[in-house]
Amino acid sequence: MRLWTALLMAVTVLVAPGGAFASEGQSLPGAYNMVLVGGSGVLPPQQLVELRATTTGDTLRIGGSSRFGTAAAVSAQQYPSGSENVVITTGSDFADALAAVPVASSLDAPLLLTQSDGLPQETRAELQRLAPQSALVVGAESAIGEWIRRELRMLGIRTVTRIGGIDRYDTAALLSESHFDRGVESVFVVSGLEFAAGVSAGAAAASSSEPILISHRDFVPDALRRELLRLRPKRVFVVGDASIVSSRVVSEIQFMLGVPVARLSGPDSHATAAAVSARVFKNGATMVKIATNLDFVDALLAGGFGRGPVLFSSEAGIPDATLAELDRLGEFQRPILSIAPQTVNPDSASPLTMFIADSDSSPSDLELRIVDQPRHGSLEVVGLEVGYTSDPGYLGPDRLSLSIADGLFTSRPVAVDITVRRAGPPNIVMIMADDLGYGDLGSYGQQYIKTPRLDAMAANGARFTEFYSGSPWCPPARSTLMTGQHGGRSFLRHVGWFPEGQQTIAKSLRDDGYSTALFGKWGLGQLSGQGLVGGSPIDAGFEEFTGYLSHRDAHAYYLDSPETPAESTPAHPYYSNLRQFLYTSSGTDVRPMMISPDRYTHDEFIDRSLDFIEEQRLEPFFLYLPVTIPHAELVVPPDEPGENLLGQYLNEDGTSIFPEIPYQPELDGLGYDRWNDKPRATYAAMVSRLDRDVGRIQDLIIELGLAEDTLIVFTSDNGPHDEGGIERLAGDFSFDSAGGLAGGKYHLTEGGIRVPALAWWPGTIAPGTVIDKQAALWDLAPTFAEMADTELRWAVDGISLLPELTGESGRSHPYLYWETFTPFFTGVAVRRDDWKLIRSGVDSPFDPVALFDLSVDPYELDDVSNDPVNCSVVRQLIRIANAARTPAPFNPNPLTVSLDVVPLATPEC
């Protein structure tokens, strides 16, 4: 794309942090400097690129983290050596502040902003730096409290004067009366209500040291009438169209004074600012300030900075009215080359989009020149077109620089940032912890276990506050993830295996071109002495697999035995009832796989995940990483040199920093054969190890340039366990892994099913996003499908969470449903809005139920099911529970467990 234009001007200015500004005397002949007022949130980099393309002068951004900080930054830039005087006005009332702009200019004083009840820290610090002797406070006590004057005196300011009227019209009139003499050349009259149209008057009035007065839209206030008659100006500028300041007001002023009254306006605020500039600066200007029209403060503060107009940017870009006025204000002699950051596809020539401007040359006279070659690609220049080709296999950032010459002048070198980014749908990394509780992460309130990388993921991405698993224990929960169906309709309701041909999200993604892999605990397959019985992850849609096929085997972290004992790790006696090998994919089959008995199985899964990401970086991939941490057994490798995963939880003598109850397997009865004298320190170190490894995956994705193309989701399959020595409620100390919620694994109370959930996708998910929507594990399949533009060819209960991840609001669940069949607890639960019903038992229509209002009782302490007021709620939730489920299609152990649920009787109300 080529754009040819001629700009006529002398100087422009930009207000936000950083940058060097060339003074008026230093500007290039026929060029102008530019000052941008406002941070990158309101004036984004792309707009800065467009504006820079209109000048060969330098640019400056001035701004702060707040309006008070921006005012202080403008002051520091304009008065680096301090100031005798200062003007203080409110940061919340546009009218008072605008009227103060030309007053501050006439006093050669900075304009600082305050709150009504005290000086903000940024203002206080700037006052201390300025060390003024005199301060003018603009605004009545209702706008700026008397305490402000006291604070100013406490800062050593000798003279503090207040000018404030009974209203905004009176305040502006009093300011004018005290600082401007009768017979001024011009007066600017603006609306007291519509700031967007009026703020451009601040720069105009400040440049000519003329007053600003405030009018009502429909009539001339008494204060305005009084001051106009005193001033007797030679002309009056009314800023804004008739919807801002009515024709009646214009006529009345003209009749009252008998002088020309000119309306400066356009169809919008951008055009109005341009109209003010064109009239007041008709012979050009030495400086132009650019600010957003969304916040009066930035544009207002820009008005007093230097001599020149304020023009506006907008959310959609640089308005035509602004660009046209820049064209009018001056011309430049050097050719202009501007190239915005570019995103290109790998391994193919990509033309770079650029902006080229020259006032006195034809295209045939211009020559593009390569100043710096890219580090990870090559360039081809043909005439005024540039093609970039990345090195084979490279993804990520690159940089080059170009200039343009017209035979007389050569532009400054222009650096071009390139991002080599593969085309196609985003990658998906799904990480599921095993038995990690709602309160096990720092971002969810954990006080003892260190999880810095997951906490950073929450800060830089999204954190769910009401995210639920599909079941309070492992296999049924994993089934809901794969199928997108809640626990009353998903295929597995207990231990078991998927049938051949089972539809899954992995299969849908694979069929639509994704590379798919699973490393870790599948848990939805089954083995016998003769090999695989069913539930192959390959049949379920995964092209690569290494891990545990069955739920039963996924409880050991070392594959050691008497025949293959561990040597370099702590004593790991044979875990007697589990197979001592993993399974891995081989084509369309899975086969046993041996690893060293000293190899921590979790580390094997992480390393294979890292390898898969690197190998598949050029194509979309779905990585499912269901780790086994922190499920029992509790064991962790010793720290490697430079590591402090376990060491941070140990005293110098090697004992635990936590109160410990040693784990003795022979007293447990669960079959974990490893004795452990510090199970709590071990548990904490396991979680910290998982945290580190999530960070390693994140770091690799960033390193490969895949961050903006990759969603990472982290969650857990259910609440925290009480196994292997980590009994949560034993003794006086607890990690509070459930985050204060009732119950844990196997239970349908919140502690058993509410789990942490984080999502990270730079450029798509805004940092610090908190999602309070009720969501569940079965929502992830439709979420991934929508991201990938993939069709799910079966009925699902889940709802895509993509709207919430992108800052929008999507559909909500009519209800959430769970059921569970374990020796510890059998029952059903339903949540609708804030009401939750838990049924204990499934065999009788009269099984007991409990009702909780989670809006006031999140810890489920008060069962209100017997309150007659709630009878209709109980009836409604029972009906939902009875209708929500379908009969279990598969039960591998019918002699030991029944998966039938007898419908509950509904009470009479």
Distance CA 792, CA 802 (A): 15
Cα dihedral value 717, 720, 725, 727, nearest 10: -160
Does residue 315 sit in the same domain as residue 374?
no
Write out pLDDT tens, residues 391-443: 988 888 899 999 888 766 677 788 899 988 888 899 999 999 999 999 999 99
Q: Is the pLDDT of residue 234 over 60?
A: yes
Q: Is the pLDDT of residue 19 over 70?
A: no
The average confidence (pLDDT) of the chain is 86
Higher per-residue pLDDT: 297 or 277: 277
Stated as kind and residue range, the H or E segment containing 343 is strand 342-344
> In this predicted structure, which of 256-265, 389-398, 850-859 has the lowest mean pLDDT?
389-398
Distance CA 398, CA 781 (A): 35
> In this predicted structure, which of 68-72, 187-191, 726-730 has the lowest mean pLDDT?
726-730
Q: What percent of the chain has pLDDT over 70?
A: 87
Does residue 412 sit in the same domain as residue 437?
no
Residue 149 lies in a domain: yes
Please enumerate in sequence order all residues whose Cβ is within 8 A of that of 175, keeping only pairs 6 or more positions apart, or say none. Answer: 99, 100, 103, 138, 163, 211
Does residue 534 sit in the same domain as residue 569?
yes
3-state secondary structure of 604: helix
Does residue 709 sit in the same domain as residue 750?
yes
Does residue 466 sit in the same domain as residue 612?
yes
The tokens describing 348, both together, are: 């193919």
Q: What is the number of domains present in the chain?
A: 4
Does residue 280 sit in the same domain as residue 295?
yes
Q: Give the model's pLDDT for residue 661.
A: 86
Q: Give the model's pLDDT for residue 790.
A: 94
> Distance of alpha carbon 4 from its chain centroid, rounded?
38
Q: Give the model's pLDDT for residue 307.
A: 77
Q: Give the model's pLDDT for residue 372.
A: 92
Write out pLDDT tens, residues 609-628: 999 999 999 899 999 999 99
- Sort 869 into a burial class: Cβ within 10 Å, 0-12 / 13-18 / 19+: exposed
Does residue 357 sit in the same domain as residue 473?
no
3-state secondary structure of 260: coil
CB atoms within 10 A of CB 657: 14
Residue 729 lies in a domain: yes
Residue 601 lies in a domain: yes
When pLDDT is averaged across residues 567-575 and rounded to a whole number, the result is 48
Q: Give the model's pLDDT for residue 572.
A: 45
Of 70, 73, 312, residue with least CA distance to 199 = 312
Distance CA 251, CA 463 (A): 59
C-alpha pair distances (Å), 710 with each of 486, 613, 624, 756: 26, 11, 13, 20
Distance CA 102, CA 585 (A): 76
When pLDDT is averaged across residues 186-201 and rounded to a whole number, the result is 85
Q: Which amino acid is at 635?
A: V
Residue 901 lies in a domain: no
Residue 903 lies in a domain: no
Domain final position from 778, 793, 813: 813
Does residue 90 sit in the same domain as residue 196?
yes
Cα dihedral value 744, 748, 750, 753, nearest 10: 80
Q: Give the model's pLDDT for residue 4.
A: 24
Q: Is the pLDDT of residue 196 over 90?
A: no
CB atoms within 10 A of CB 325: 24
List of E strands, 744-897: 757-760, 769-771, 775-776, 816-821, 826-832, 835-840, 849-853
Write out pLDDT tens, residues 478-517: 999 999 999 999 998 888 889 888 999 999 999 999 999 9
Distance CA 468, CA 774 (A): 8
The tokens describing 586, both together, are: 């081989």
CATH number of residue 468's parent domain: 3.40.720.10
Write out pLDDT tens, residues 654-713: 999 999 988 876 655 555 567 888 999 999 999 999 999 999 999 999 999 899 999 999
Write out pLDDT tens, residues 858-888: 999 999 999 999 999 999 999 999 999 999 9
When pLDDT is averaged across residues 74-98 and rounded to a whole number, the result is 90
b/e for 695-725, b at 16 or more Cβ within 10 A?
A: bebbebbeebbbbebbbbbbbbbbbbbbbbb
Instruction: Report cis status (omega within 30 of 0) of the bond before 630.
Output: yes
> In this predicted structure, which of 208-217, 417-426, 603-612 has the lowest mean pLDDT?
417-426
Phi–psi pair at 248, nearest 5 degrees: -60, -40
Domain final position from 301, 329, 357: 329
Residue 769 lies in a domain: yes
Distance CA 432, CA 475 (A): 13
Higher per-residue pLDDT: 30 or 279: 279
Name the DSSP letter for residue 631. S
Listed ranges 290-294, 559-563, 714-718; the one with the highest mean pLDDT? 714-718
CATH number of residue 855's parent domain: 3.30.1120.10
Distance CA 726, CA 734 (A): 9
Distance CA 201, CA 189 (A): 8
Write out pLDDT tens, residues 153-191: 999 999 999 999 999 999 999 999 999 999 999 999 999
Of 334, 324, 523, 470, residue with least CA distance to 412 = 334
Question: Are the C-beta atoms of 699 and 456 separated by less than 8 Å?
Answer: no
Please enumerate in sequence order all residues whose Cβ is within 8 A of that of 607, keeping only pairs 6 or more positions apart, or say none. Answer: none
CATH number of residue 349's parent domain: 2.60.40.10
Residue for token pair 């990870």: 376
Residue 818 lies in a domain: no
When pLDDT is averaged across residues 442-467 and rounded to a whole number, the result is 97
Q: Is the pLDDT of residue 43 over 70?
A: no
Phi–psi pair at 73, nearest 5 degrees: -65, -40
- Sort 402 into a burial class: Cβ within 10 Å, 0-12 / 13-18 / 19+: buried
Domain final position from 761, 790, 813: 813
3-state secondary structure of 613: helix
Q: Give the model's pLDDT for residue 728.
A: 59
Residue 368 lies in a domain: yes
Does residue 431 sit in the same domain as residue 401?
no
Q: Is the pLDDT of residue 24 over 70?
A: no
Q: Is the pLDDT of residue 343 over 90?
A: no
Q: Is the pLDDT of residue 32 over 50?
A: no
Q: Give the model's pLDDT for residue 460.
A: 97
Instruction: Please report which confidence band the pLDDT of residue 597 belongs to, taking 50, 70 and 90 as the band edges.
Output: confident
Please enumerate in sequence order all residues whose Cβ is within 8 A of that of 339, keeping only pairs 6 or more positions apart, or say none. Answer: 49, 352, 353, 354, 355, 402, 414, 416
The tokens describing 578, both together, are: 């589990």
Largest CA distance in the chain: 109
Q: Which domain holds residue 383?
A: 336-420
When pLDDT is averaged across residues 344-352 and rounded to a whole number, the result is 83
Q: Which amino acid is at 246?
A: S
Does residue 354 sit in the same domain as residue 242?
no
Distance CA 303, CA 311 (A): 10
3-state secondary structure of 479: helix
Does residue 341 sit in the same domain as residue 325?
no
Does residue 442 sit in the same domain as residue 569?
yes
Listed ranges 54-63, 428-437, 896-905; the one with the highest mean pLDDT? 428-437
Q: Give the model's pLDDT for residue 724.
A: 75
When pLDDT is averaged across residues 632-650 and rounded to a whole number, the result is 92
- Sort 129 into a burial class: Cβ within 10 Å, 0-12 / 13-18 / 19+: middle
